[in-house]
Structures are given as structure tokens and as C-alpha cells.
Chains A and B, each alone.
Chain A
Amino acid sequence: MLKIKDLNVKLEEEDKQILKGVDLEINLGEVHAIMGPNGSGKSTLSYVLSGKDGYVVTGGSASLDDADLLDMEPEDRAAAGLFLAFQYPVEIPGVGNMTFLRTAVNAQRKSRGEEELTAAEFLKLIREKAKALKIDAEMLKRPVNVGFSGGEKKRNEILQMAMLEPKMCVMDETDSGLDVDAMKLVAEGVNTLRDGTRSFLVITHYQRLLDHIKPDVVHIMADGKIIKTGGPELALEVENNGYADLLAEVA
């Protein structure tokens, strides 16, 4: 599914190397978690995969089902099945949540040669999915993320994910700013989508989220590299001992 090989990335504006040779392979249906201290390059990895401006790839590759991701525009990556749940979902005044999602869903369907959803079909589908995430209809009518609480924003990200049905879901610190109940709701949303036909890359600081979304593989990232890979027990180790031991071990 997702193959990242020796990925090297620097900032466009300044000569600062952020990723220093990331290797990562996620197979169909797997859930991988990336943990790591602040500034280790976790968010950068998610942005580079989804095509945000401001980064320069200085080496390596990233592909989704053998298609070269780094060569595509963000919208084409989305159509190819990549989805990024933002750490800070963007507020867009004046653009209705519903209009936005319908445009996105139909644009993706169109680019994949599928029939576009009618207004009625779309409405039925989104109501169903919103209900499961406890998102009320009022919220759907409002402008994208405007006036949403932190939890509402994150639930809205998961709703978008559920509507777009991506193959590869990258979640950037989806747990940040969530209370325990909201986190459970978000995790349920993710687990519903975890049906073996798609893969997940969950970026998080804390083990907490991984109690609810059980990963198959856990990676530790530090200073732009993956320094250790293991099973779910690795996350527990971090929770108990912090990153210091792991960093020392590698050094």
C-alpha cells in the first residue's frame, strides 16, 4: 500500500533538513502508529505525503499502490486514496461544510470515473455517517469548522474520512485537544473504517489513543528518522519510560 523509501525533506524557506531518510512500509489493512518527541518530523511527514507547499524533497520516494505520490498535486493524491486528518483543521468562513464535502466527494468520484452522487444520495449518506459520530445536522450547515469546538473539529475530520473512504488514512495528532469521551468517539469512527480494505498511519504523542485504536506496528521517530520499530508494547514502553531511554539506546 504505502511505501516510503529513504525520504529526505528540507524546508523551502530555510536550509533546514527535517526528514533524514525515513523508511516505512504499510501493507493493506494494517494500522501503524508513529510516536516521537516534539520536532522529530512526524507532522512534516504527514504534510509531505499529502502535498503541502513549503517543503522540498531532497531524496527518496513515497508511493501509494505503486503510484508516485510526490509527483502529484494534493487533489490527485486525495483521488488516489490518501487522506490526511489535520492536527489543526482549518476554519473556512463562507464555505458551507455540506457544499465543501459534496464537492470533494464528487470530485474524487469523477476523477476515478465513478458516477457523481446526487444531492439526495449525498444527504442520505452524510446524515447516516454524521449520526454515528454524533455530529448534528446544524453543524453540517455551518461554514467549514467555523465556531466548532476542538472536539467538533476532530469529529468533522473523521466524518470527512468516512465520506471519502480513502485507502490510506494519515492521522496527525487527532487526539490532541480531545477529552476522553471525544477521543472514544473518534476512535470508534476510525475502528468502523478499519475493515481490512484500508490502512492507517496514526501520528500521536501519547499511548492513550492507541488504547482505543490498536496498532499493528509502532514506530518511534526522532530527529527525522525512524529509530525503532516494534509491536504495540513499544508504545507502552514509551508511556512508562519516555523517549530518553530509546534515544540513548540509538545514540
Chain B
Amino acid sequence: MAVLAAKIEAAQARVSEADLPKGAAWAGQARARALGTLRAGGLPHKRDEYWKFTDPARLAAAETPTADVLPIDEKPVFYAVDRHRMVFVDGVLDTDISHPLKMDNVEIETLQQATGKDIHWARDLFGVLENNGQSPVQRPLAALNTATAKEGLVIRVTGKAQKPICLSNIRQEARTDAVIHHVIRLEEGAELTLLENGPSAARLNLVLEIELADGAVFNHVRTQGRDHQRVAANHMFVRLGRESRFKSFTLTANGTLTRSEAVIEMTGDDAHATISGASVGDGDFHHDDTVFLTHNAVNCESRQVFKKVLRNGATGVFQGKILVKADAQKTDGYQISQGLLLDDDSQFLAKPELEIYADDVICSHGSTCGAVDETALFYLTSRGVPKAVAQDMLVLAFLSEAIDEIEDSELAEDIRHRLEEWMQRHRT
């Protein structure tokens, strides 16, 4: 009981009654429900089953933390891509330096605008997908987000978006909390590529609620800057309709604590979902991918592909679940998580889970952890490739399986290039 009391107390400390966002009745209800969830269960604690490998203390702490702003001289990732930029400075949308809040086949509103309207399509999604995702595993930081977020975009895609939307983040202040909540709906047959880049804040709490109507196609590539001291909790709640396609890839380089949770539900037949990630950490790095993927329709395919490269005491965590409901026959589920440890000080912790109630199902999962292959390293160096370069080649090869999940080869190449640069900066 003492733990629960502490969790509830921590939740209270994060919520200031006077500062809660205001809006239309439906939005108020969603926020009140989230607040109720938060107040009943409190913020996460390291004693919680799904926080055993990752101590949430810094994500839950009442105090806003400080993280040095990393001066970046290189071009931002995706700079060469023709994209519709929405720029957030310290977690706040800056319309002056963003592209307009509209695009062909795409409606874009701020969260504040959308939740202020008495009638809005987002009422069926805002806080709804998040709330559905609270069971069977509680996600208190997401509830905190729904209850308190004032920033974010509400995006409706009605056809094929002509270019990717890029959510670009820039940090200026060292001591910041950013709470951002995006709601995205792709109508029947619509297509969108969503990009995210740059660091948001010293501490980020980000929620994406995404719904794909029948036949919709959504591609997502996220990078998060490479500030060393930042902490972040990302949640993605996704609902997939019939024959829709969802693909999401996240690159995580650096960051003292990053938790990325994805809650994906396949509700229409013949849908496809891929969630993948590559992360690289050197020293004070802790990165956690937690996935809960539910098959609740017939003949759907899902893939989870996560690769982590760790050195100098860095920690990687993967918790991945595939739940196949009784009627989800012909499910094809795949899950792989792998850690590559570049020394003896680092660790990779993995907890794959399968829970299957249907009987005509293919589900495969694997998790491995190892060092660089010495035989391969010798082969490369014996041909004259310097050892450091050879090791980089092998590390990149290891990460490739995750990078290859990115649909667009140009975006994949961009990510690969960033990783090459990171490895060059982190040679021993």
C-alpha cells in the first residue's frame, strides 16, 4: 500500500488544478477520465511489473529537470526531404517558422483549436485510444499526458498526402518539460508519411494517437536528437482498420533515459503493422522499448524488430508482447530483439511475451545478446580494413535489419548515414 500511496502522491505533485487545459465538453470528459486514471493508480514506480528494468523516477519526479542543450552544427536529419514542417520550440508549436496548418488532402489543427470545438471528429480518438490502452497494463504517463497536454496537432488525412509531415523539435531552454499530444486519423485509403526529428525538451512526455481507417497507409520515422541528459516517455496508441498498413521506425541515439511504448491493435482483417527501432548508446544511456500488440482480426501480419548497440555501461531494454485473440485466425506475428554489447559493462534486458488464444496462427519470436563477431572482424581487417572501420561496418550491419524495415529507401539511407556518423564519433 505504501507504494501505491507514493505513486498517487507523485501524480498529485505533477498536476496543478489551476493549470489544466480547458476546452469543449467532450475534451473535458476525456481529460477528466485520464485524470481519474492517474489519480487512482498514481505515476509509475520501479516496483511495477513493466518498470522492473527501467526506473521511472526521473520521468515521474515533480521537479522539472535540466539537460544541457547540445549544440548541433550538422544539417538536421531529413533536411533533403521535401517535407511539410511543423516546428516545436521547447515543446511549443511556433507557427511563425512552421509551414501553414493545411496541405492538400490534409487538415491540420492545433490541439487547442480542435479540443475547443463543440463538435469535432477527434472526440472519438482523443484520450480514447489512450484509455483503451490502459488495460491490461496501466500507462500512467500517457494518462498524465492526456490530462495535461496543451500542445500538439490534430491531423486528418483524407487522401494521399503530397509530402511527408515533419514534426521538428528545437530546444533552446535547458530546464524544460514538454507535454505534447498528437491525434492523427487517416480516412479510408488515405496515405501519410510522418517524420519526427530533433529533441523536444529536458523532459518530454509525448503521446500519439493514430487511427487508420480501412486501406489507409501510414509510415512513420522518428529521430529524437542526441542530447545526452534528456529524459523522454513516448507513447503511441494505434488502431488499424481492414487492409491498412502501419509502419513505424524510431532511431534513438543518446539520452540518459528514454521509454518508448507502443500499443497497437489490429481491429480489421488483412492489416499489417511493423514497429521497429535502432538505438545506440554510449555511457549514461538507458533505452526501453515496450510494445503491446494485439491481433483482434483475421489474417493480419505484425512485425517487431528492435536492435540496440550498447557500450560503456549503457543499458537497453525490450519488453514486447503479442496478444492473439481467439478470433484472430491466420495471424502472422514476428518479433525479434537483439542487443550488441561492445564491452562487458553494458547490458541488454529483454522480456518477450506471447499470449495466443487462436489455433491457426504463426508467431515467431527471438531475442539475442552478443558481442561483435571476432571471426568477421578478422576477415575484414585481414583485407586491410582498419579495425575501427571494420567494427563500424559490423555494427551497422547489425542495425540494418531494423533500418531495412523503413519503407522509403531514401529515408532509410538518411538514418544509416546518421548512424555512421554517430559511430565515428564514438570510436574507442
A: residues with CB less than 8 A from B are: 50-53, 73-75, 77-79, 83-84, 86, 89-90, 92-95, 99-101, 103-105, 107-108, 111, 143-144, 160, 164
Question: CA of A104 to CA of B380 in the docked complex: distance in angstroms?
Answer: 8
Does B427 have its Cβ within 8 Å of any Cβ on chain A?
Answer: no
Output the least CB separation between B385 and chain A (Å): 5
> In the complex the two chains form, is B375's CB within 8 Å of A103's CB?
no
B269-308 contacts to A (CB < 8 Å): none
**Chain A: CB-nearest residue to B378:** A52
Contacts of A52 in B (CB 8 A): 378, 382
Min CB distance, A49 to chain B, in Å? Answer: 10
* Segment touching A, from B35-43, B57-65, B97-105, B389-397: B389-397
Q: How far, in whole Å, are A235 and B297 apart by their CA atoms in the complex?
A: 70
Residues of A within 8 A of B389 (CB): 103, 107
Which residues of chain B are near A86, meaning CB under 8 Å? Answer: 379
Residues of A within 8 A of B390 (CB): 75
Contact B384 A95, beta carbon cutoff 8 Å: no
Contact of A164 among B376, B383, B396 (CB under 8 A): B383
Chain B residues lying within 8 Å of A164, measured Cβ to Cβ, are 383-384
Which residues of the other chain, A, contact B400 by a CB distance below 8 angstroms?
94
Q: Specify which of A79, A83, A103 is in contact with B393 (CB 8 Å cutoff).
A: A103
Decide if the interface of chain B is mainly helix, strand, loop or mixed.
helix
- In angstroms, Cα B384 to Cα A170, docked, is 15
Contact of B386 among A84, A89, A93, A107 (CB under 8 A): A107
- Chain A: CB-nearest residue to B379: A90
Which B residues are in CB contact (< 8 Å) with A79? 384
Closest to A103 in B: B385
Give Cα A51 to B382, complex, Å: 8
Q: Which of B379, B380, B382, B397 contacts A93 (CB 8 A)?
A: B397
Q: List 16 A-B contacts (CB under 8 A).
A: A52-B378, A74-B378, A74-B387, A75-B390, A78-B384, A89-B379, A90-B378, A92-B380, A94-B397, A94-B400, A95-B393, A104-B383, A104-B384, A105-B384, A107-B385, A111-B384
A74 contacts B381, C-beta separation under 8 Å: yes
How far is B427's CA from A127's CA once the two chains are assembled, in angstroms? Answer: 33
User: Do B387 and A104 touch across chains, with their CB atoms under 8 A apart?
Assistant: no
Chain A residues whose CB sits within 8 angstroms of the CB of B382 once the complex forms: 50-52, 74-75, 77-78, 83-84
List of A residues within 8 angstroms of B50 by Cβ: none
Q: Does B96 contact A (CB under 8 A)?
A: no
Q: How far is the CB of B18 from chain A (nearest CB, A)?
A: 54
- Could you tell me the distance between the alpha carbons of A78 and B385 in the complex, rounded to whole angstroms? 9
Q: How many residues belonging to B are interface residues under a CB distance threshold of 8 Å?
A: 23
Please indicate which of the listed interface residues A86, A94, A164 has the most CB atoms of chain B within 10 Å of its own CB: A94
Is B414 an interface residue when CB atoms closer than 8 A count as contact?
no
Q: Distance (Å) between the CB of B170 and the closest chain A CB? A: 34
- Between B375, B378, B400, the greatest number of chain A beta carbons within 10 A of the residue's beta carbon is seen for B378
Residues on the B chain within 8 Å of A89, using CB: 379
Closest to A54 in B: B374
Contact A92:B376 (CB < 8 A) given known A100-B393, A103-B393: yes
Docked CA distance A83–B379 (Å): 11
Contacts of A73 in B (CB 8 A): 381, 387
B376 contacts A75, C-beta separation under 8 Å: no
Is there an interface contact between A75 and B387, defined as CB atoms closer than 8 Å? yes
Closest B residue to A99 using CB positions: B393
Residue of B nearest to A101 (CB): B383
Q: Tell me whether A75 and B398 are in contact (CB under 8 A).
A: no
Which residue, A74, A101, A111, has most C-beta atoms of chain B within 10 A?
A: A74
**B401 sits at the interface (CB 8 A):** yes
Bound-state Cα–Cα, A83 to B382, Å? 7
In the complex, which residue of chain B has the Cβ closest to the Cβ of A166?
A: B384
Query: A92 CA to B375 CA in the complex, in Å?
Result: 10
User: Is there an interface contact between B384 and A94, defined as CB atoms closer than 8 Å?
Assistant: no
Of all chain B residues, which has the CB nearest A90? B379
